[in-house]
Structure 1
Amino acid sequence: MTLIFAHRGSAGTHPENTMDAFLEAERVGADGIELDVQLTKDGEVVVIHDETVDRTTNGKGYIKDSHLKDLRKLHANYTFKKKLFNKHKIPTLIEVFDWMKNNSLVCNIELKNSIMDYEGMEEKVITMINDYGYSDRIIISSFNHYSIVACSRLDPMIEIAPLYSTGLYMPWVYAQSLGAKGIHPNKKVASDEIITESIRNGICVRPYTVNKAHQMKRLFNLGCSAIVTDYPEKAIKIRTEL
């Protein structure tokens, strides 16, 4: 069965990377969540997609230049198009991990260190995963492939998967060279042949961001390992019908 991962939580219906979005993913029956992490000035791991707070909050500036206590004052769903939600804070990864104690969701953590060089990010995230005993529930992905290999060296038990958005020749071979058990391609570069060959070679394929019904149906029918979607409830409905 193709697993369904809620992209930044249920980001199509709820403010992305907030506890509301993760709770919704759990409510509708998603198999996992995907989230993004950055490092604050005081070295805290926070859950937010962009390197700045400008797009998703009522604040301005870089995460790396901000202390956690100041980031926590911001309204994390300030720019969400539907104003139906209570004021939410930017979550910490610890907050998400505490919530995960009460469910069995898989969590795909994307390290956002391909633009900013967050020194020590890998060590912090791996330590936290081990402290919570989540090594079998986490997939670490990044566009920074050096970073995920560093994570694998810190703890070979935790699964890693390279993110990529342009065509890669025989990506299953590349994944194996990194010690990765999966690949996370942009849906545009996840052809039928690449998906089936990767899976045949023991590499999971989890394309992002799959939001249209016809895209979901194609991937479900192919037996793709998982999809990453902003609309987990819609995806579950389609998967059930098929």
Structure 2
Amino acid sequence: MTLIFAHRGFSSLQPENTMQAFQAAYKAGADGIEIDVQLTKDGEIVVIHDEKVDRTTNGKGYVKDYLLTDLKKLDASYKFKKKIKKYRIPTLAEVFQWMTENEMICNIELKNNKIQYEFLEEKVIQLIREFHFEHRVILSSFNHYSIVHCYQIAPDIEIAPLYSNGIFMPWLYAKSINAKAIHPNVKTLNADIIQSSLNDQIQVRPYTINDPKVMEWLYSLQCSAIITDDPEKAITVKKLQRKK
């Protein structure tokens, strides 16, 4: 059965990477959420995609240059101008606390491919341990050195390489770094790659799937999961396909 992960939460409905987006994903029936983490100036783990706050908030500058208290003052509703109340940048601890109330899976992307955040991996893993979420979290990154480091210090937590360009026999590459899954750009995939990966016990969770026809194709191949901005649409397409 193909699982549905909400990309930065239900980001087509609510401001991305906010608690409201995660809550909306849960309400829609998504199996999990995909989030991004970085560190503040005072070493706190926060959930935000870009290295700068400019696109998603009313602030300017790098996440790494903000103290958590100052980051929390920003309005994270950005393009959703009709939203009345302010949306805050959440901490990973806040997301985990909310997850104690449900059974959602959490795919955490470590945003350290442009900025090398010192001890990001250790801090995230420590928090996973505190909440006992070892089997509810997947650690992914475009920085494959980072996820290999995660495996070395926490081999019981699943890792998955993110990539946007084609990799030859990606299932073999995944095994070589002790990953149990691949998270590729869907443009790099074909039926043979998906099937070969699944046959070799490597799960395939492509991003970012918003086209119903692509959803149908991936469901027909029994792809492990899809990462989408619109989990509601993904669930509707899945239900319609089952009826065919």
Could you tell me the TM-score, scaled by structure 2's length? 0.97
Q: What's 1:156 paired with?
A: 155
**C-alpha RMSD of the superposition:** 0.8
Q: Structure 2: 5+ residue runs without aligned partners?
A: none
Residue 82 of structure 1 deviates from its aligned partner by 5.1
Q: What's 1:51 paired with?
A: 51
CA distance in structure 1 between the partners assigned to 2:188 and 2:79 by the alignment: 29
Q: What's 2:212 paired with?
A: 213
Q: What's 1:64 paired with?
A: 64
List 4+ stretches of structure 1 deviating above 4 A: none
Residue 86 of structure 1 deviates from its aligned partner by 2.2
Q: What's 1:118 paired with?
A: 117
Deviation by residue 1:13-53 (Cα, 9 ceiling, x = unmatched): 11000000000000011000000001001000000000010
Could you tell me the TM-score, scaled by structure 1's length? 0.98
Residue 84 of structure 1 deviates from its aligned partner by 2.9
Residue 169 of structure 1 deviates from its aligned partner by 0.1
Q: How does 1:1-242 map to 2 (within 5 A)?
A: 1-77=1-77, 79-81=78-80, 83-242=82-241
Q: How many residues align?
A: 241
CA distance in structure 2 between the partners assigned to 1:167 and 1:82 by the alignment: 38
CA distance in structure 2 between the partners assigned to 1:85 and 1:95 by the alignment: 22
Q: Structure 1: 5+ residue runs without aligned partners?
A: none
Residue 85 of structure 1 deviates from its aligned partner by 5.0
Identity of aligned residues (%): 59
